[in-house]
A and B are shown apart, each in its own frame.
Chain A
Amino acid sequence: MNIFVCIKQVPDASDVRLDPETNTLARDGVQSIINPYDRHALEEAVKLKEKFSGTVTVVSMGPPQAEDILREAVSCGADDAVLVSDRAFAGADTLATTYTLSQAITKRGKPDLVLCGKQAIDGDTAQVGPGLAERLDMAYVTCVRRINDLVDGTLHLERMMDDGYDELEVKLPVLMTVVKEINKPRLPSLKGKMKAKKLAITVLSAEDIGADIKQLGLAGSPTQVVRVFSPEFKGERTMISGTVSEQAAQLAEKILELV
């Protein structure tokens, strides 16, 4: 099975914050990590490969440093790694990203399975998976929480819904996005680390993937960010003090006003 996993390098979201006074981004010591959901996508790919044989290629579109997460992915079981990197990709929204990723994947072969995380924790859009499937003209399932079986090229799986889950069947090729309930990602193995160190990571430029410049980066992005600002915390806070029963009484009153 030819499996691709799309992984993204993201700043550790818990560290990124706007300074409320200057309205500037404070990034002291912000670490770059593999998008947490993508670890689960990788783990599922590696498990499938182990069970049904095949190869797992990790693909990331990003700056040269994204090589770090690709190596980390190889140390966790991926066979091959592709970095799609070019200044022309900067400013890509999800439409331009799915174009770029689809060109890169098509360049590297014909996928039976493409796995993505449910969403990236920097943008939280959850749009790249479904968009990429459309670009690749593949069936897709989002928020997969469990793969029950793969029989005669048909996947049996469960998709998480807001109120429960759906059981689904779909023939390969398929793209799926996964939620974290699907598995517990393994730690890098020693063998994996050795492999990751030695592996020459393929770097693909806009030209290498035969991209139409107009569909890349800012030019290929219908959406534009016009303003970035801090969320407002709804100011006024009232502390309710007194003895326990005074506190409870006041609180009860406030609650009854509201419900």
Chain B
Amino acid sequence: MLQIDEDACIGCGVCEENCAFDAIHVVDGVARVNDNCTLCGSCVENCEVEALHIEKSDQDGHVDLSSWSGIWVYAEFRHGRIAPVAFELLGIGRQLADQRQVKLSAVLLGHGFSDEAEQLIAGGADFVYVADDQALEHFTDDAYGNVIIDLINEHKPEVVLAGATAIGRSFIPRVATSLKTGLTADCTQLAIDPDSGNLLQTRPAFGGNIMATIVCPNFRPQMATVRPLVMKPLETDLSRQGEVIQVKPAAARMDSRVKVVRCVIEEADQVNIVEADVVIAGGRGLENAEGFSLIEELADLLGAGVAASRAAVDSGWIPYPHQVGQTGKTVCPKLYICCGISGAIQHLVGMQSSEVIVAINRDSDAPIFSVATYGVVGDLFEILPELIARLKEKR
């Protein structure tokens, strides 16, 4: 519960302004909390006279922390290849493991592997647990979840990370619930708290308007899904040594209540914008579907993916899988070039963590310029053809 020290409270109202939930009001010179309170803590943080406290109740039943050790990453494997996010997880996982002076392990589930386990060792893993079974050929929440739950219970890692992909975000929450531990979704930063050794998990909330750092101090494992393309993979090092451990889950644990009839890959011939290093995006400023041919030309030249604002998608100029933003995809390429996009917050949240952002817009006040690395005020129909011509020259 939120405790208010009425003697300390000066009724300044900062807490009231801070509250996103309309849960705290100054009445007769003293802050009062109502039922809307979610204990998010932003009032406590901002109270200058320290009149507010959240009483963290003792969590009993918590686990013996010392018996949990090691960092694990789930290495997603689908359609015959390891998802790039797995190597990114090994990159950050290596740092965390070295800091904690523990081992880094990868878990690989699926069917018909060749040298994938070795790839994971070259990517930083000390151990790779491999379950290769016909029953794991297709992803199912039940089978993949059960196998990982059993492995975690057996080996007791202190941290378990997975990619915040469609698969990771589907089965990992069930794993965490079954283990009765905490799970932080879609993290963009991970670090070890030097004092406690706990994992500091930072993630965007409220559609990217706010960042929050979350810990799971009393339960193990500490679990997080991690947004793809945020963490850096290590250089592949084929001389790295590691151990591959084959696991044979019981058949019953690989049963699934959901049956996979067919997997359809839709974007096979297009560059997947979530994984692309360069993304070219177009918005309403392109005026019509033909406008996208300029974007496509530039994208072809740079081997880039094509993205769009919702306005462009809603106008039917390009299909939904290309939409970036709150209700579309989140991308984080090395270079994001957006043309004729105003930069509404719902678009920004999907692309603002890109390394370099180039914005082309004829309105110098467009909000997109607030996140741009390079801004070009001008008409995209004039700039893009020139730009394309120059790039062609140089290549």
Contacts and interface: CB of A to CB of B under 8 A. Distances in A.
Interface in B169-212: 169-174, 176-178, 180-186, 200, 204-212
Main secondary structure of the interface of B (DSSP, over half): mixed
A259 B278 contact: yes
Interface residues of A, number: 96
A224 B56 contact: yes
Interface in A86-143: 87, 90-95, 98, 121-131, 133-135, 139-143
Interface string B89-104: 0000000000000000
B210 A234 contact: no
Nearest to B375: A239
Main secondary structure of the interface of A (DSSP, over half): mixed
Interface stretch (B126-134, B236-244, B382-390): B382-390
Contacts of A131: 173-174, 176-177
21 contacts: A27-B20, A122-B205, A126-B169, A130-B141, A134-B174, A140-B141, A142-B170, A164-B265, A167-B264, A170-B258, A214-B59, A214-B60, A222-B216, A225-B41, A225-B212, A229-B211, A231-B211, A237-B373, A239-B377, A244-B386, A258-B335
Given A24-B18, A244-B383, A259-B277, A214 B61 contact: yes
A52 to B, nearest CB: 20
A183 B178 CA distance: 32
A259 B302 contact: yes
Given A239-B375, A244-B382, A259-B278, A163 B79 contact: yes
Given A126-B173, A231-B204, A251 B387 contact: yes
Given A124-B205, A139-B258, 19 more contacts: A24-B14, A26-B17, A27-B17, A90-B38, A124-B186, A161-B167, A161-B263, A162-B165, A163-B78, A163-B272, A164-B265, A222-B182, A227-B212, A228-B41, A229-B213, A240-B374, A248-B387, A252-B387, A255-B302
- Most chain A CB within 10 A, of B54, B344, B373, B376, is at B376
Interface string A9-48: 0010110111000111111001000001000000000000
A235 to B, nearest CB: 10
Nearest to A170: B258
Nearest to A233: B371
Given A244-B383, A249-B390, A255-B335, A16 B17 contact: no
Nearest to A169: B259
B166 A162 contact: yes
Can you list the 8 inter-chain pairs with the closest CB atoms, starting with the nearest?
A91-B39, A222-B182, A248-B386, A139-B257, A164-B266, A223-B182, A13-B207, A252-B390
A224 B217 contact: yes
B27 to A, nearest CB: 18
Contacts of B60: 214
Given A218-B54, A228-B40, A121 B207 contact: yes
A152 B181 CA distance: 37
A226 B214 contact: yes
A259 B265 CA distance: 28
B324 interface: no
Contact of A25 (B20, B36, B185): B20
Interface of B: 1-2, 14, 17-23, 34-42, 45-46, 54, 56-57, 59-61, 78-79, 138-139, 141-142, 165-167, 169-174, 176-178, 180-186, 200, 204-219, 257-268, 272, 274, 277-278, 302-303, 320, 326-327, 334-335, 337, 344-346, 352, 356, 358, 369-379, 382-383, 386-387, 389-391, 394
B174 A130 contact: yes
Contacts of A230: 209-211
Nearest to B257: A139
A143 B36 CA distance: 29
Nearest to B303: A259
A219 interface: yes
Contacts of A24: 14, 17-18, 42, 46
Contacts of B200: 226
A160 interface: yes
A171 B205 CA distance: 35
A167 B212 contact: no
B337 to A, nearest CB: 8
A223 B277 contact: no
A90 B387 CA distance: 54
A51 interface: no
Contact of B174 (A65, A87, A133, A248): A133
Given A95-B177, A167-B262, A248-B383, A226 B213 contact: yes
Given A16-B20, A224-B215, A125 B264 contact: no
A231 B166 contact: no
Contact of A130 (B173, B182, B373): B173
A75 interface: no
A22 B46 CA distance: 9
